Structure 1
Amino acid sequence: MVTQRAIPLHRRIRAAIEAKILSGEWPPGTRIPTEAELAATYDCARMTVNKALTDLAADGLIERRRKSGSVVKRPVLQSAVLDIHDLKAEVEAAGFTYRYTIATRKIRQATRADCERLQLAKPVPVLALSCLHLADDRPFCWEDRLISLAAVPQAQDATFIHQSPGAWLIGEVPWSAAEHRISAVSADASLAALELAPGTPCLAIERRTWDAEQPVTHVRLIYPGDAHALVARFAPSKAG
């Protein structure tokens, strides 16, 4: 039997901190005691504590900051690339409380840029929306969306009080085809709601959907790059 004393001290310190994080006692954003404080608690050298914290950072449980110390890191959330996902379901699946706010809402005749985004043959009335999605009241995703009112006239009167525009569309409008485009962008003034420093890497997902041949919506979702990942599951091709 392996006794507690036989386990190296840095691993015991790591396990103790990990247990507090995984149990929720130390939620994301919690400041970890300093190396000096932990060394005093465990009556050991700071080098031993440093090794424990380095291991926790390597496993993505904490973030080490040069001047402000270490904090519990938010888990990296995942989106399915080959599916139209519900942001609320993503956030709640990770154990966070979901909320969203509508920043702007405007009905207009489609501009040239709108026609390009929706791939419209000619201008039609569109609903332009921008929303901020939050996880535990922290910015999670910025949404910039166009909805063709020629395809979805009922969107003009939708309040989106109880459902975000994306969730409302999933339940309201059939779609027959979708296109995803994934890219990297840098945070700028247009993404101020995400509370990121200018130049911070972000992940951009653009999605366009159709009902038969009729464009329905185009949405651009922007995530902080260090807090989100994309996954896709697929099988080998049977061709040949």
Structure 2
Amino acid sequence: MTVEERIRSDIEARVHSGAWRPGDRIPFEHELVAAYGCSRGTVSKALTRLARAGLIERRRKAGSFVADPQVHSAVLEVPDLARMIAARGEQYRWELRGRWSAEEPGFGSALFVEGLHHAGDKPLCLESRLISLAAVPQASEEPFAQVSPGGWLLQHVPWTRARHEIRAIEATSAQAGLLDMTGAKACLLIERWTWRVDQPVTRVEQLFPGDRYDLTAEFKPGAK
């Protein structure tokens, strides 16, 4: 890890642990230079990247401060399925099916969680997720027996970048059985990655029966 990466990692850790709260001043550049034994240019690069990611705010002549959490807007949001199902007037339930730790390329030490999201008396989504324990070490202590990992992450871990991939697939017999599907096995698969600055946070695959889930986005004239 370079000095610049170490500075960014240390500041991120303090912000996301709650040690530094929104509005708190982080050390001045000359203090970071002394603390890390590096050049001012290295410190400036680290702070610039954190500012671009929305984690800190740099104010001319005043220093750098922890930024307020950003509101992300996209064609597809990162959804909280529990809230989405409740908004439809249905009862939500999370069913944990498996949880284990392993090494994963690109993530290092990771926690794997599998389960089902239920809407009413039917399963709505089969989820397979991995969580980087380098980015989210506190996840190792969360059993995810009562709360889904996606809902928990949205409450505890800010993200700065996300990517979605969506495609139609045919469910396997095992998947169709878990999703209580009969007849046609057409499904919608959503794969999502989220990062905090340059560090991966989570990767998830969510499989929905094609007749129980749709994607909706609203646009305004002139929106780009």
Pick the aligned partner of 1:157 from 130, 133, 141: 141
The corresponding residue for 2:117 is: 133
Q: Which residue of 1 aligns with 2:94?
A: 100
Tell me the distance in 2 between the aligned counterparts of 1:88 and 1:234.
24
- Give me the whole-angstrom Cα distance separating, in 1, the residues matched to 2:169 and 2:219: 27
Equivalent position amino acid for 1:124 in 2: G
Equivalent residue, structure 2, for 1:201: 186
**Distance (Å, rounded) in 2 between the aligned partners of 1:103 and 1:184:** 24
The yes-or-no answer on 1:90 pairing with 2:92 is no
Q: Please report how far the alpha carbon of residue 198 of structure 1 lies from its aligned counterpart in structure 2 after TM superposition.
A: 6.9
Two-structure CA RMSD over aligned residues (Å) = 1.9
Residue 180 of structure 1 is matched in structure 2 by 164
Identical positions, percent: 42
1:234 corresponds to which residue?
219
List per-residue Cα deviations over 1:137-196 (Å, max 9, x = no partner): 211111110111111111111122342100000011110001011100111134131022
Q: Is the 8 A contact 2:96 2:145 kept in 1?
A: no
In 2, distance between residues paired with 1:181 and 1:238?
A: 22
**Secondary structure in structure 2 of the residue aligned to 1:231:** coil
Aligned length: 150
> Residues 8-40 of structure 1: CA distance to partner in whole angstroms, max 9, x if unpaired?
xxxxxxxxxxxxxxxxxxxxxxxxxxxxxxxxx
Q: Give the counterpart letter for 1:126 in structure 2.
A: A
8 Å CA contact retained: 1:139, 1:195: yes
Q: 1:139 to 1:237 in 2, by over 3 A?
A: same
Task: Give the 3-state SS of the residue equivalent to 1:126 in structure 2.
Answer: strand
Runs of 4+ aligned residues of structure 1 deviating over 3 Å after TM superposition are 235-239
Checking the alignment, whether the CA contact within 8 Å between 2:122 and 2:180 is kept in structure 1 is no
Q: Structure 1: where are the runs of 5+ without partners? A: 1-79
Q: Distance in 2 between matches of 1:101 and 1:81?
A: 28
Q: Distance in 2 between matches of 1:147 and 1:137?
A: 28
Larger Rg: 1
Q: Where does structure 2 lack aligned partners over 5 or more consecutive residues?
A: 1-73
Q: Secondary structure at the match of 1:226?
A: coil
